[in-house]
Every structure is written in C-alpha cells, then in structure tokens.
C-alpha cells in the first residue's frame, strides 16, 4: 500500500516528523479532511480537533488547535498553534479545565465578548483533550 509522510510542528517543537501513514483525518476550518496517498495539493487553515494518523503499526492521535495544513505530493505538513500526543494528556487536569471554563460561562458574571470567546475556546479545548485521552 502507498504511504505518505506526516510531520507535525508547533512553536514549542516537533511532535512527529516523517511519520509513514496510510491515511489521515485532519480537522480544518471547512470540516474534517480524509487524506489518502496521492491526495491533491492543498493549503488550508486548521480548526481545533483531533488529528488521526493511520499507520501500519496502529492509529496515532494528536490534538490540534488552529494553524495551517499543507499537502504536497507525498508530504503532509501540519503547523499547529498547540498540539499534544494522546499519550501525554493529563485527563484530571483536562477535566478541571473543562469544569472551570464551564463554570465561568454559566456564572451570572457579565463577560465581555473577548472573555466569552476565551472561555468558549478553553471549554472546547478541554473537551477535545478529554476525548483524545480516551482514544489511547
């Protein structure tokens, strides 16, 4: 079966480089893309979600928070604002963050538009991290 190479970079460093994949599911601003070998060239924005890379040795899962996806030939490059491997998620910390963000959104405290968006994004990231931790 044909393969392609997946590399995932963040400002904090490289999460994976040249991972041989048969298939990948990547969250983009226009929905989830299913990448297969010989996929057409593409450059698009990422959205918050879970990137799944299917390899011969099993599936690998990573969190993605914004960024850019480039597919060119047999190379996929993901530049993400933040990203984590499913194996390093602290589920208790993620649950605490989810509870804190939900509490702030549910409180009677008047939030500015900036704070409302901030806590909505924190809640979205916390829920995604909990889903990711359960995919191990």
- Ranges of each domain in the chain: 4-87, 90-133
Per-10-residue mean pLDDT of the chain, 136 residues long, equals 91 95 95 92 93 93 92 95 82 86 83 84 84 76
**CATH class, range 90-133:** mainly alpha
pLDDT at 136: 60
**How far lies 49's CA from each of 73, 84, 103, 109, in Å?**
24, 11, 22, 29
Closest CA to 76 of 14, 24, 27, 31: 24
**CATH class, range 4-87:** mainly beta
């Amino acid at each position: 079966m044909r393969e392609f190479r997946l590399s995932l970079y963040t400002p904090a460093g490289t999460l994976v480089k040249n991972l041989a994949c048969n298939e990948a599911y990547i969250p983009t601003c226009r929905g989830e893309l299913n990448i297969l070998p010989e996929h057409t060239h593409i450059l698009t924005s990422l959205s918050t979600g879970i990137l799944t890379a299917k390899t011969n040795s099993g599936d690998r899962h990573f969190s993605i928070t914004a960024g850019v996806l480039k597919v060119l030939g047999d190379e996929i490059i993901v530049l993400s604002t933040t990203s984590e491997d499913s194996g390093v998620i602290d589920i208790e910390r993620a649950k605490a963050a989810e509870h804190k963000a939900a509490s702030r959104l549910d409180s009677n405290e008047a939030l500015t538009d900036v704070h409302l968006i901030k806590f909505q994004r924190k809640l979205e990231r916390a829920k995604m991290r909990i889903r990711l931790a359960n995919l191990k």
